[in-house]
């Protein structure tokens, strides 16, 4: 067995459900899942039951994260439908970016009023990332609003051919737009959704084979892979009204590395999408003594007992994977080895931004 060393991966889009949803995940279990997946730094989303839309809510979440997290961590602030633009100046240096929900999804942060969206796009500092959940027609609206307010824009979890075409065109025109894609939108289609039932139910929905192919064909226009790790319990998923979202931290790297083995993706592109891209877009400082070691040869089948996420399931159960994470080192400390986390909650440090 000879191990291969790669940079510690960064995931700029996770939902750790802490506070308010810790029966699904918390900063400890979520960050265990991150380490098991070779991810050394995460950025948590604001759509908690009490959303992260005030300085107080952000400071409360920081206090929790400081004592519970095993990997490095940061936060996105949320734009509130009740106009919290007055908070923006207070939090700008404490967060990776501002998240604006322009479609219905988990949480209560949907903003539909175009005048408020315009205000949010104008007031949030122009040099800081502004992220949108904006699908299809809404993606077009978000791009138009970014042009009108002359600001950079990051589009979360793209899934459609029409979206990547729009983004590619905007990039060709020199507009400062970036985007992310999830492993599930690269590897599953609406046909898989039929078999997966509630476990294949997330926003955006799994798309057609044509859409998935368009994402792969335009990988050069995609800035990063983000997991959108969005755990819900099996009980919730099997209820009459299953919530949207699937976990992803532990499977993202091995799934994508399996595509490297197949020859569908280059290792350089994988590192660009899971390390350089998020580092660059969110100006995240990284450390030279932080790295992961994988076994490029071992093949394994994903089973529930391997999983650290509190929700205890994956949409990729039974998949044959390559690129198992053997060791993770953060700032010269060995933090994970052969399935075991070796550090205590509180080891993780806040991310810093340049």
The residues in 295-354 that bind ligand NCD, with binding defined as CB under 6 A, are none
Q: CB of 322: closest distance to ligand NCD in angstroms?
A: 26
Using CB under 6 A as the binding rule, whether residue 184 contacts ligand NCD is answered as no
- Please tell me the count of residues contacting ligand NCD according to CB under 6 A: 11
The one among 11, 44, 72, 228 contacting Zn ion by CB under 5 A: 228
Cβ 42 vs Cβ 13: under 8 Å: no
Using CB under 5 A as the binding rule, whether residue 308 contacts Zn ion is answered as no
Of all residues in this chain, which one has the CB nearest to ligand NCD in the complex?
245
Which string of b and e fits 257-293 if b means at least 16 CB within 10 Å?
Answer: bbbbeeeebeeebbebbbbbbbbebbbbebbeebbbb
Report residue 83 CA to chain centroid gap. 25
Torsion of CA 295, 298, 303, 304, to 10 degrees: -10
3-state secondary structure of 51: coil
Q: CB of 191: closest distance to Zn ion in angstroms?
A: 22
Q: Would you state the structure tokens that stand for residue 81, as one six-digit string?
A: 């439908």
Task: Give pairs for 18-22: CB < 8 Å, separation 24+.
Answer: 18/48, 18/61, 18/64, 18/65, 18/68, 19/48, 19/49, 19/50, 19/60, 19/61, 19/64, 20/48, 20/49, 20/50, 21/48, 21/49
The residues in 237-296 that bind ligand NCD, with binding defined as CB under 6 A, are 244-245
Task: Give pairs for 300-307: CB < 8 Å, separation 24+.
Answer: 300/324, 302/251, 302/254, 306/36, 306/250, 306/339, 307/33, 307/247, 307/250
Q: Give the x/- contact pattern for Zn ion in 132-171, rule: CB under 5 A.
A: -x--------------------------------------
Q: Give the x/- contact pattern for ligand NCD in 11-50, rule: CB under 6 A.
A: ----x-------------------------------x---
The one among 61, 184, 203, 237 contacting ligand NCD by CB under 6 A: 203
Nearer to ligand NCD by Cβ, of 204 and 348: the residue is: 204
What Cα–Cα distance (Å) separates residue 92 from each residue in 20, 124, 342? 24, 8, 33
Using CB under 6 A as the binding rule, whether residue 105 contacts ligand NCD is answered as yes
Q: Give the x/- contact pattern for ligand NCD in 112-151, rule: CB under 6 A.
A: ---------------------x------------------
The residues in 274-303 that bind Zn ion, with binding defined as CB under 5 A, are 295, 297
Using CB under 6 A as the binding rule, whether residue 60 contacts ligand NCD is answered as no
Which positions touch Zn ion (CB under 5 A)?
Answer: 1-2, 105, 133, 228, 295, 297
Which positions touch ligand NCD (CB under 6 A)?
Answer: 15, 47, 105-106, 133, 202-203, 228, 230, 244-245
């Amino acid at each position: 067995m000879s191990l291969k060393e790669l940079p510690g991966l960064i995931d700029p889009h996770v939902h750790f459900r802490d506070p308010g949803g810790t029966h699904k995940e918390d900063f400890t279990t979520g960050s265990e899942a991150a380490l098991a997946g070779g991810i050394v730094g995460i950025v948590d989303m604001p759509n908690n039951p009490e959303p992260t839309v005030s300085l107080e809510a952000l400071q409360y979440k920081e206090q929790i994260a400081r004592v519970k997290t095993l990997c490095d961590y940061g936060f996105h602030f949320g734009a509130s439908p009740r106009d919290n633009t007055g908070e923006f100046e207070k939090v700008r240096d404490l967060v990776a970016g501002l998240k604006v929900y322009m479609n219905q999804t988990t949480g209560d942060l949907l903003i539909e009023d175009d005048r408020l969206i315009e205000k949010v796009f104008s007031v949030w500092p122009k040099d800081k990332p502004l992220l949108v959940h904006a699908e299809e027609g809404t993606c077009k609206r978000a791009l138009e609003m970014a042009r009108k307010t002359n600001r950079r824009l990051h589009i979360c979890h793209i899934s459609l051919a029409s979206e990547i075409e729009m983004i590619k065109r905007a990039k060709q025109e020199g507009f400062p737009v970036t985007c992310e894609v999830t492993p599930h939108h690269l590897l599953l289609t609406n046909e898989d959704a039929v078999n997966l039932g509630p476990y294949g139910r997330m926003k955006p929905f799994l798309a057609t084979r044509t859409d998935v192919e368009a994402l792969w064909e335009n990988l050069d226009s995609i800035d990063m892979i983000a997991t959108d790790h969005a755990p819900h319990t099996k009980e919730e998923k099997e209820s009459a009204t299953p919530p949207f979202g699937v976990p992803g931290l532990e499977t993202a790297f091995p799934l994508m590395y399996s595509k490297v083995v197949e020859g569908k993706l280059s290792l350089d592109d994988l590192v660009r999408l899971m390390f350089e891209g998020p580092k660059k877009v969110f100006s995240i400082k990284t450390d030279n003594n932080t790295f992961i070691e994988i076994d490029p040869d071992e093949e394994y089948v994903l089973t529930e007992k391997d999983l650290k996420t509190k929700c205890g399931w994956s949409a990729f159960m039974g998949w044959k994977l390559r690129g198992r994470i053997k060791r993770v080192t953060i700032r010269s400390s060995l933090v994970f080895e052969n399935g075991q986390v070796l550090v205590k909650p509180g080891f993780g440090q806040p991310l810093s931004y340049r």
